[in-house]
């Protein structure tokens, strides 16, 4: 079975699609593209699709990942184009690579988020960020299915900065005051989400944006301790593919051998 890892986005209005909505759209795209999917065993077989750390409903993303299993080899680049053409605009398949290593989910160690705070002055946001970073712990509350939970939102935050709009995904210029935060959060337990950090800014500096923040995940992957950056989780697979021939291709010796009929 060939395994292909894909990167996809949630852009524009489709940031409000749930994970289940995406699953339905993706399975329809697999059928339209006539992808030779491998299926699970049992009374109700399902396509072998593994999702990794999907973003919450309502948040945009430039870096969502999944893995599919195929019964016949396919070129990843061609497969990406076919699937992207079969998906709704906004749910875009942006990258594909043959899986040659294990542990994709384990490599998703941190996320880089952009938080757009409309009608918030950048200087006000900088003061709140400074107070957040100066605090040893920032306790926030989140309502869960088991009730209200209190936890520290500070420990998982590797960096938090106020940045100038650059035109990257998520930036939307406006004449009104707007503060844009860049946030790197390690994926730890309990998981700290961007809205938890916003709650923490409210706790330490009484920062309360008058409109809901627009949140976009710009990247997720291995965390580089030296640079404090989030790196490409598909890089090990790309390197392995470059170092070895495709599993779906026959060995060179077999291609050069001509069958000889017995006399």
pLDDT in tens, 25-41: 999 999 999 999 999 98
Q: What is the pLDDT of residue 203?
A: 95
* 109-224 maps to CATH 3.30.2220: no
- Over residues 62-76, the mean pLDDT reads 97
Q: Do domains 2-106 and 109-224 have the same CATH topology?
A: yes
Nearest alpha carbon to residue 73 among 41, 99, 46, 107: 99
Q: Find all residues with CB under 8 Å of 6, minimum gap 6, and list them.
A: 65, 66, 67, 68, 80, 83, 93, 95, 96
162: helix, coil or strand? Answer: strand
Least confident of 44-48, 65-69, 90-94, 196-200: 44-48
Q: Which of residues 164 and 135 earns the better pLDDT score?
A: 135
What is the architecture of the domain spanning 2-106? 2-Layer Sandwich (3.30)
pLDDT in tens, 187-213: 998 899 999 999 999 999 999 999 999
Which tokens in the block code for residue 147? 């009730």
User: % helix / strand / coil in the chain, to the nearest 5?
Assistant: 30, 30, 40
Q: Residue ranges of the domains in the chain? A: 2-106, 109-224
9: helix, coil or strand? Answer: strand
Pairing outcome for strands 49-52 and 60-70: antiparallel
pTM: 0.86
Q: What is the pLDDT of residue 255?
A: 38
């Amino acid at each position: 079975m060939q395994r292909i890892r894909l990167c996809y986005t949630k852009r524009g209005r489709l940031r409000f699609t749930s994970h289940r909505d995406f699953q339905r759209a993706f399975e329809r795209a697999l059928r339209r593209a006539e992808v030779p999917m491998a299926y699970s065993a049992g009374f109700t077989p399902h396509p072998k699709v593994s999702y990794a750390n999907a973003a919450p409903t309502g948040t945009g993303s430039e870096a969502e990942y999944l893995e599919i299993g195929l019964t016949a080899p396919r070129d990843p680049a061609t497969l990406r184009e076919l699937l992207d053409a079969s998906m709704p605009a906004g749910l875009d398949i942006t990258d594909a690579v043959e899986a040659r290593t294990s542990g994709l989910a384990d490599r998703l160690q941190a996320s880089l988020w952009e938080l757009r705070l409309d009608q918030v002055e950048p200087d006000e946001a900088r003061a709140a960020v400074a107070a957040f970073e100066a605090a040893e712990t920032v306790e926030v509350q989140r309502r869960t299915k088991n009730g209200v939970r209190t936890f520290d939102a500070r420990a998982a935050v590797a960096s938090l900065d106020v940045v100038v709009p650059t035109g990257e995904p998520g930036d939307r210029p406006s004449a009104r005051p707007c503060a844009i935060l860049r946030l790197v959060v390690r994926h730890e337990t309990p998981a700290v989400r961007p809205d938890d950090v916003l709650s923490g800014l409210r706790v330490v500096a009484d920062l309360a944006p008058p409109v809901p923040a627009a949140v976009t995940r710009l990247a997720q992957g291995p965390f580089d301790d030296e640079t404090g950056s989030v790196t490409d989780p598909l890089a090990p697979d790309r390197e392995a593919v470059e170092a070895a021939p495709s599993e779906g291709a026959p060995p060179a010796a077999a291609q050069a051998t001509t069958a000889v009929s017995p006399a």
